[in-house]
Amino acid sequence: MLKLRPGQPAPDVTLKSLDGRSLPLASLWGNGRPALLIFLRHLA
């Protein structure tokens, strides 16, 4: 497993949105804009 240190850029991975679309992580930010990722855990 890859360990990141604070300040290191995240690797470009593909995420699945709530509506089922696949999005590359890099598409969520551009021009230096930060992105906040929230991982929901299904507990049922």
The first and second tokens of residue 38, run together, are 């929230």
pTM of the complete model: 0.43
SS3 of residue 15 by DSSP? strand
Alpha-carbon distances of 44 from 16, 23, 37, 41, rounded to whole Å: 20, 26, 22, 9
Could you read off the pLDDT of 4-30 as tens digits, one per residue? 888 887 778 898 888 999 988 788 776
Question: Considering only CA atoms, which of 25, 6, 9 is closest in space to residue 17?
Answer: 25
